[in-house]
Amino acid sequence: MKKITIEDVAKKAGVSKGTVSAVINGKNTVKATTRDHILDIMRDLHFRPKGMARNLKAGQYDKSIGIIVKDIEYPFYTGIASGVKEYANSKGYTVLVTSSQDSNEFEKKITHLFTTKDIKGVIIAPVLEGTSEIEHLFKLKMLNYPFVLLEDVKGIQANMVAVDNLDAIKQAVKYLIDSGHKKIIHFSGPERSSHTQERIDGFRHAFSESTLAFHPDMIVSIGSHYDECLKKSKAYFEKLQESEYPTAIVCFNDQQALAVMTSLNQLKIKIPEQISIIGNDDIFYAKYFPIPLTTIKAPQHEIGRKAAEILIKNIESNKLQDVERIILQTELVIRQSSRELN
């Protein structure tokens, strides 16, 4: 099929190439009605703006995709990137791995860079910070730029690959309840993350299916970064009497769990004799923690591979594809950081 160009869009819309270019670049010099008309034409023609592509010796365009993670140092994302790279390389694509450094503004800048430099598509672990946090995602949708999210974002219908966070946490809490634990708390993650809310919901569901009562104070927000979690978890326990300690903690992720284990060690609270700890993700060194971590194993490699598969299918299609939302299952891995009370 003939590749659709900016000239084709301008001709069908009855406007100049400059007007189409202004819409693509988000300039406010175009009337709203004209902009909407041009965007409709772009969608009808399945037009994707391209940046400064360079020809290879073979006479073809270089094929590359990007992945934007929140924290490039967290091994969870390393596992996902490995899956992306494996599949993408098998299809002739190179992969550019970048980090938003947990900054929504930086994420926007990277997505803009990718769309202008002819990176064919992008996989995003989105950072949600406020009311305008998905503006750049809407722009990607308007431009028909292929992308896949690694987390659900309310308000936008987009391709997504994630795990069943609700069921994962529910199974972890059920394991603790079945092991005789009654005083269980959940250290939750970043407040605006859909993963955080899904894991809180899983925690609540586990209690609704048991004889134990759920109380809101069982949910304690301490974030996801090591230093923040270390400080907040230590402060939480310093204000409690020993008789008030929970017997088990379900953590937002393994990085948080390591911080919690460190704070408990500093406070001379024994794991798992006094408190059992469960993490989430099963990053590669979780089994090498000072006390090997009981955690929820996420299929990191499969997440990346599936996200790359969906992305490249959209890149190479000559027509708009239906939105795909893939939810993968997890597995609870029992190690020495948790114990039965029965």
- The pLDDT tens digits for 134-150 are 889 988 988 889 999 99
Does pTM surpass 0.85? Answer: no
The pLDDT, as a whole number, for residue 320 is: 81
Query: What average pLDDT does range 321-326 have in this prediction?
Result: 94
Instruction: Enumerate long-range contacts of 153-160, CB under 8 Å, 24 or more apart.
Output: 153/126, 153/128, 153/194, 154/194, 157/323, 158/323, 159/307, 159/310, 159/311, 159/314, 159/323, 159/324, 159/325, 160/324, 160/325, 160/326
Residue with more model confidence, 187 or 18: 187
- The pLDDT tens digits for 270-294 are 999 999 999 999 999 999 999 999 9
Write out the two tokens for 297. 């194993």
Residue with more model confidence, 274 or 57: 274
Q: Are 95 and 39 in contact (CB under 8 A)?
A: no
- The pLDDT tens digits for 196-251 are 999 999 999 999 999 999 999 999 999 998 999 999 999 999 999 999 999 999 99
Residue with more model confidence, 51 or 99: 99
Q: How far apart are CA 17 and CA 30, in angstroms?
A: 12
Q: How far apart are CA 305 and CA 82, in angstroms?
A: 8
pLDDT band of 53, cuts 50, 70, 90? very low
| Angle, CA 43 vertex, CA 40 and CA 48 arms, to 5° | 125
User: Could you tell me the CATH superfamily of domain 165-299?
Assistant: Response regulator (3.40.50.2300)
Fold of domain 64-162+300-328: Rossmann fold (3.40.50)
Domain(s) of CATH 3.40.50.2300: residues in the chain: 64-162+300-328, 165-299
Cα dist. 214→67, 217, 278 in Å?
38, 9, 18
The pLDDT, as a whole number, for residue 130 is: 61
Is residue 58 scored above 70 in pLDDT?
no
* Average pLDDT value over all residues in the chain: 91
The DSSP line for 28-74 is: TTS-HHHHHHHHHHHHHHT--------B-TTSSB--EEEEEES-TTS
Q: How far apart are CA 235 and CA 238, in angstroms?
A: 5
Q: Cα 237 vs. chain centroid, distance in angstroms?
A: 30
